[in-house]
Chains A and B, each alone.
Chain A
């Protein structure tokens, strides 16, 4: 199955962010939520991304393009977990997300966990290009295998650029024999990351028990968490991002354990 979805959000003359273009293609279903129905900031467009239960399968190629125009604000929220499954067709399943955020625009892209089931081979590709003063908050949670099962393979490639400068480039190859090594996942089945280019960057790293929030060398920051389960992963991610000075939530001093 090949599917291409596209979402374009722009700022209108009244300062509100409006969905200008919305193309869903099963299994990538984009559901805009009218401002009257959400209690968030009315100037921020809210769109839900719903997948269908049995995708992606091996051989599937899914593409999602997100464009946030100058000054526009979009919150794109995943609905339900994604199960990466093996398929009858040869080849891996691939999910490519391309993000462009224009000057003074902002995007929150908050997905639900991707569960890599046994024998799956899933590739996740994220390319984000930001204008100099654009904001991005991008969360990804990967669960290697359902409870007690041997996971399939998960490969991800992340490329984050701002104004032409590479802020982060990272490749993860998970679901193999290296997962158990102390350097890779140290035996944890859940890895969560949150990319934050959101106002002030943390001045220095914040660290705790299998989590960290680190300032990147050329701007932006990255929270990384390893955990035994998703509940712990989200808790640690919340602790890590709470140490970020740029987020609206008050950044209380984070206790450091471990």
Chain B
């Protein structure tokens, strides 16, 4: 399938990464609040390191699953050309096997597998909870913006989906490519903490914005890699991880329950 940006797909991507998007992402700092509380991020330089590290780990993982989910959604909407062109029924059987369901498939098995494999790549319960909270928020907004039986199928299989899976599915439903879905996931992985840093540390918004823009090159590189793996079986998808981020997520969750914090994660 061509990776060209069609108008509907482009609009969807812009909307999904817009801070105005009513998905509840503003309640999460992606670990920045804890890093700031520990004095690990104090200025634009240390913020840049945080964002770079997050992009290559949590961001790359989100990109992998967003791309895979976009690929899955697109296949469910329109089965691969080879299958459709085949009129003797073999193609349909192949597609049914590939999707784990027959025609009119809701993709239950793929969504459940993506969900479980992302769980396995997210050892921190606090991060799993934050991902599902943001996925659910995004689902509410997505249902009214891009109603689709594919989205209904996803939410029937996983009522509280992980954010990257839901994001990728919405992007795919709206016509965006796996690369674009991955790019959206990567952008959100750093834009959330970046905007949190202006609120938590009072950093200069111009410098913060420059730090995000400085990541453009690795962002497109990681998105391209994620798109290359989008057709793999969920069990074979890559699993980049960030040990310090995982530890800080748990510590933040603990503190959040005991005292007031600005962000849920």
Chain A residues packing against B (C-beta within 8 Å): 157, 165-173, 178, 180-186, 188, 191, 204-205, 207, 210-212, 214-218, 222, 224, 226, 256, 258
Residue of A nearest to B54 (CB): A183
Choice from A185, A191, A205 contacting B253 with Cβ under 8 Å: A205
Say how far B232's CB is from chain A's closest CB, in angstroms. 12
Contact call A172/B53, Cβ cutoff below 8 A: no
* Complex contact B238–A183 (CB within 8 A): no
- A211 contacts B119, CB within 8 Å? no
- Is the CB–CB distance between A205 and B240 below 8 Å? no
Asked if A226 and B247 sit within 8 Å, CB to CB, the answer is yes
30 contacts between A and B (CB under 8 A): A168-B123, A169-B121, A169-B239, A170-B241, A172-B243, A178-B52, A178-B53, A181-B50, A181-B52, A182-B35, A182-B38, A182-B40, A182-B41, A182-B53, A182-B245, A182-B248, A183-B57, A183-B242, A183-B245, A191-B243, A204-B125, A205-B125, A207-B253, A212-B246, A216-B120, A217-B119, A217-B122, A218-B116, A226-B243, A226-B247
A170 to B116, CA, bound (A): 14
Q: Which residue from A183, A205, A226, A258 sits with its C-beta under 8 Å from B124?
A: A205
Asked if residues A184 and B53 are in contact (CB atoms below 8 Å), the reply is yes
A205 to B254 CA separation, bound complex (whole angstroms): 9
B108 lies within 8 A of chain A by Cβ: no
Contact of B244 among A183, A204, A216, A217 (CB under 8 A): A183
Instruction: Judge whether B209 is part of the interface by a CB distance below 8 angstroms.
Output: no
Whether B31 sits at the interface, judged by CB under 8 Å, is: yes
B240, closest chain A residue (CB): A171
B14 within 8 A of partner (CB): no
In the assembled complex, B213 has its CB within 8 A of some CB on chain A: no
Q: Name 7 extra pairs, CB < 8 A, besides A183-B58, A214-B124, A214-B250.
A: A172-B243, A178-B56, A186-B40, A204-B125, A207-B251, A224-B247, A258-B251
How far apart are A185's CB and chain B's nearest CB, in angstroms?
6
Kindly supply a per-residue 1/0 record for chain B positions 93-126, scoring 1 wherever the CB is within 8 Å of any chain A CB and 0 otherwise. Answer: 0000000000000000000000011011111111
Asked if B210 is at the interface (CB within 8 A of a chain A CB), the reply is no
A-contact bits for B154-186, CB 8 A (1 contact / 0 none): 000000000000000000000000000000000
Contact A167 B250 (CB under 8 A): no
Knowing A180-B49, A205-B253, A212-B247, the reply to whether A170 touches B121 (Cβ < 8 A) is yes
**CB neighbors of A among B215-259 (8 A):** 235, 238-248, 250-251, 253-254
Q: Is the interface of B mostly helix, strand, loop or mixed?
A: helix
Task: Using known A-B contacts A165-B116, A169-B239, A178-B53, determine if residue A216 contacts B123 with beta carbons closer than 8 Å.
Answer: yes
Per-residue CB contact flags for chain B residues 18-47 toward chain A (1 = under 8 Å, else 0) read: 000000000000010001001011000010
Q: Contact: A171 with B238, CB < 8 Å?
A: yes
Q: Is the CB of B120 within 8 A of A167?
A: yes
Question: Would you list the 4 A-B pairs with minimal beta carbon distance, nearest first?
Answer: A181-B53, A183-B53, A217-B119, A182-B40
Chain B residue with the shortest CB-CB distance to A212: B250
Query: Does the CB pair A166–B251 fall under 8 Å?
Result: no
- Complex contact A217–B128 (CB within 8 A): yes
Query: Inside 8 A of A214's CB, which chain B residues have their CB?
Result: 123-125, 246, 250
User: For B57, B120, B122, B125, which residue has the most chain A Cβ atoms within 10 angstroms?
Assistant: B120
Contacts of A168 in B (CB 8 A): 120, 123
Which of A167, A170, A181, A211 makes the CB contact (< 8 A) with B247? A211
A183 to B51, CA, bound (A): 8
Distance between A140 CB and nearest chain B CB, rounded to angstroms: 12
**Given the complex of chains A and B, what is the CA–CA distance between A60 and B140 in angstroms?**
52
Chain A nearest CB, measured from B208 CB (Å): 16
Given known contacts A169-B120, A169-B239, A205-B253, A184 and B244 CB-to-CB distance under 8 angstroms: yes
**A182–B247 CB distance below 8 A:** no
